[in-house]
Amino acid sequence: MENTVSLKINGIPVTVPEGYTILQAAKEANIEIPTLCYLKDVNCIGACRVCVVEIKGRRGLVASCVYPVEEGMEVLTNTPAVRKSRKTTLELILSSHNKKCLSCPKNNHCELQKLSLEYNVDEDRFAGDEEFPEVDDKSPYIIRDNSKCIKCMRCVAACKKLQSVSVIGAIRRGYNVHVGCAFEESLNDAPCVGCGQCVVACPVGALTEKSQTDKVWEAIADPDKKVVLFTAPSIRATLGECFDMAPGTDVEGKMVAAARRLGVDKVFNMNFTADLTIVEEAHEFVERVKNGGTLPMFTSCCPGWVKFLEHYYPEFIPNVSSCKSPQQMFGAVLKSYYCEKEGIDPKDLFVVSIIPCTAKKFEVTREEQFALGMPDVDVSLTTRELGSMIKEAGVMFTALEDEKFDNPFETASGGGEIFGATGGVMEAALRTAAHILDESLEVTDFVEVRGQKGVKEATYTVGGVKVNVAVASGLANARQVIEDIKSGRKDYQFVEVMACPGGCINGGGQPIQSDSVRNNVDLKALRSEVLYTSDKNNSIRKSHESPVIKMVYDEYFGAPGSEKAHKLLHTTYVNRKK
């Protein structure tokens, strides 16, 4: 039986498990203590001192995020001393903060801004630096503006703890401490994988994606361009949050209607190329199993994961599926098959992807994927960027009636829909691979690979073939899986990896939620449920059964793994290890 501790918080009796912090106990009493450096499952260091509280009978204030509860303890969270301390702390933080809030991408989503308003701070009470550090905007995916950094170290913790990459850290000490890469190099020159988990961890505007919405507006206004836009599987599960809708709301129909009102020519469903990726990848896997190919085979749809492997484990490049990601496949299909079918010069087609990911901004620049001598995708936008464009266009998102995707890429399978959740790629691939190995097999649900656990394992026997599979989300977990394979501790044949914990539904380009939501709501589970519900209600559950997939093979590619398919839908990788 679990040991418990009884205490009082603001006079309210609370009983919580032994080992809880005061911050956790306060939540049980429905009391919210403000935080800045604390982020559940990411960072808990008691550094910012915003969460301080009083304990009766003790001198001084303590940081509630790290202070453990004790039997009989009496905590006070709202005394004059506590409020004064928090206000002074916020004013000191603001003394060295670049207060250009109106043009900051985190405006209205900034934790410092929110707390400053709540505590009625004087933003100019303390004089600070007049010169700010140079902005690092050299990478294609992330902008780092240390003039807005509050030294909470949440980005550092996300990079180290969740991703095991650790390309950023604290430099110098005391007042002069700042966050940066080794030898003060740019993120563009460091072995950063572009996952964006630092961006969603940042409580202020110090880290943001590199916005490219201006390029899209310019293309829409160009009469010589045909602009087509497609949305990744997870976007319908998260875009509503940009408009204050509850997490876990499926907004597919409103998303299509809103995107259409931006002025683009077509709005397509990227679930189609999630299906296409699955068909190519499943056939590649079966070929490797039957013909003694390199195993285990790793999935290749996540560019953050692929770049991680290129930087840190290039010896495993032969293990990565040669399939492009669904984003890149769609661009290649649009600039070949679709342009031929519609009589469009590929140079006049401007392709825009809406993706939950910052690493995709790098992926579109990979020259080894320019099958037609040009980028497959012209611009990759995050969910947040699409949300900002919809707002800028004056579209009343929540009032929109549902609309459907444009043909010929409207229809997709349930396998394509679950692509955005950890385990979804593996499950969809197993549905098709199992069919290839044994056409009589009716199994559709592979539930063992579902869920938010960092590493999931399962063993399946199909058509006399035994397959050990692993699913990892978060690069720290991916590193664990790779080390297990290297040491011989594990024997897998098929491995799915997604760089972001929980998969694309928790990607670095997804909507920014307040700390009060992130620390208390299971966003990954709520968002994933949208995708699994959609899969369950889809009459087509397997990628190879989609009529659109059959159409593109019959009319253009011939068969999975064909010469034309390899030219347009497959790629190579780069050893980036220094």
pLDDT digits (tens, 9 = 90+) for 184-222: 999 999 999 999 999 999 999 999 999 999 999 999 999
Range of the domain at 467: 219-569
Q: What percent of the chain has pLDDT over 70?
A: 100
Which CA distances in Å does 398 have to 56, 372, 392?
48, 40, 15
Strand partners, 172: none
Phi and psi, residue 469, nearest 5°: -120, 155
Identify whether residues 194 and 314 lie together within a single domain: no
Q: Which helix (H) or strand (E) holds 521?
A: none
Q: In the listed set 60, 78, 96, which residue is the last one of a domain according to the structure?
A: 78
Task: Read off the pLDDT of residues 540-564 as tens digits, 9 standing for 90 and up.
Answer: 999 999 999 999 999 999 999 999 9
Task: Report whether pLDDT(452) > 90.
Answer: yes
Does residue 463 register a pLDDT over 90? no
Reported confidence tier of residue 385, pLDDT bands at 50, 70, 90: very high
Peptide bond preceding 408: is omega within 30 degrees of 0, i.e. cis?
yes
Q: What's the pLDDT score for residue 56? A: 96
246-276 pLDDT tens trace: 999 999 999 999 999 999 999 999 999 999 9
The full 3-state SS of 448-490, as one line of letters, equals HHCCCCCEEEEEEEECCEEEEEEEEECHHHHHHHHHHHHHCCC
Coil vs helix vs strand at 459:
strand
CATH number of the domain enclosing 184: 3.30.70.20
pLDDT band at residue 442 using 50, 70 and 90 as cut-offs: confident
Whether residues 151 and 267 share a domain: the answer is no
Phi-psi region of 20 (alpha: psi -120 to 50; beta: other; left: phi over 0): beta
Average of per-residue pLDDT across 138-146 = 96
Helices (H), 54-171: 80-95, 111-118, 154-157
| pLDDT tens, residue by residue, 407-427 | 999 999 999 999 999 999 999
Specify whether 483 is located in the same domain as 564: yes
Same domain, 273 and 228: yes
User: Which whole number is the average pLDDT over 333-344?
Assistant: 98
Q: Check whether residue 151 and residue 13 sit in a common domain.
A: no
Do the Cβ atoms of 472 and 478 come closer than 8 Å?
yes
Confidence at 1, pLDDT banded by 50, 70, 90: low
**pLDDT band at residue 176 under the 50/70/90 scheme:** confident
In the 8-state DSSP scheme, what is residue 323?
Answer: B
pTM recorded for the entire structure? 0.95
Domain CATH for 26 = 3.10.20.740
Last residue of a domain, one of 158, 185, 209: 209
SS3 305: helix
d(CA 492, CA 469): 6
Percentage of the chain modeled with pLDDT above 90: 95
- Distances from the Cα of 385 to the Cαs of 195, 208, 532, in angstroms? 16, 11, 25
Examine the domain organization and report whether 245 and 311 are in the same domain: yes
Q: pLDDT digits over 215-250, tens only?
A: 999 999 999 999 999 999 999 999 999 999 999 999
Helix (H) or strand (E) holding 555: none
Backbone angles phi, psi at 236, to 5 degrees: -65, -20
**Residue 574 placed within a domain:** no
Q: 77-105 b/e with 16+ CB inside 10 Å = b?
A: beeeebeebbbebbbebbebbbbebeebb
Asked if the model's pLDDT at residue 129 lies above 80, the reply is no
Residue 72, in any domain of the structure: yes
Question: Which residues are identified as catalytic?
Answer: 281, 284, 301, 321, 360, 363, 368, 504
Examine the pLDDT at 374 and tell me if it is beyond 80: yes
Residues 133, 52: one domain?
no
Order of strands across the sheet that contains 349-355: 266-269, 226-231, 349-355, 379-382
Distance, CA of 530 to CA of 484 (rounded, Å): 33
Per DSSP bridges, beta strands 455-462 and 465-473 are antiparallel
CB atoms within 10 A of CB 223: 5
Question: Does one domain contain both 275 and 396?
Answer: yes
CATH number of the domain enclosing 425:
3.40.50.1780
List the beta bridge partners of residue 460: 467
Question: What token pair was written down for 211?
Answer: 């916005």
Question: What 3-state class would DSSP assign to 26?
Answer: helix
Does pLDDT of 462 surpass 90? no
Judge if 267 and 414 occupy the same domain: yes
Q: Coil, strand, or helix at residue 485?
A: helix
Whether residues 181 and 249 share a domain: the answer is no
Give me 204's structure tokens: 């202020």
Asked whether residue 113 is assigned to any structural domain, the reply reads: yes
Enumerate the β-bridge partners of residue 428.
none
Report yes or no on 394 lying in a domain. Answer: yes
In the chain, the number of structural domains is 3
Q: Are residues 294 and 387 in the same domain?
A: yes
**pLDDT tens digits for range 159-171:** 999 999 999 999 9
**Residue partners of 373: CB distance under 8 A and separation at least 6:** none
Is the predicted pLDDT of residue 24 greater than 70, yes or no? Answer: yes
**What's the confidence (pLDDT) of residue 381?**
98
Read off the pLDDT of each residue in 70-97 and give the average, rounded to a whole number. Answer: 97
Is residue 20 assigned to a domain? yes
Asked if residue 88 belongs to a domain, the reply is no
The verdict on residue 90 lying in a domain is no
> Which of 78, 94, 116 delimits the end of a domain?
78
Chain mean pLDDT for the chain: 96
Query: Quick one: 68 and 130 in the same domain?
Result: no
Q: Considering the domain boundaries, does residue 551 fall inside one?
A: yes
In this prediction, residue 402 carries a pLDDT of 98
Q: Which residues contact 148 (CB under 8 A, 6 or more apart)?
A: 97, 98, 104, 204, 205, 206
Q: Could you tell me which residues are beta bridge partners of residue 533? A: none
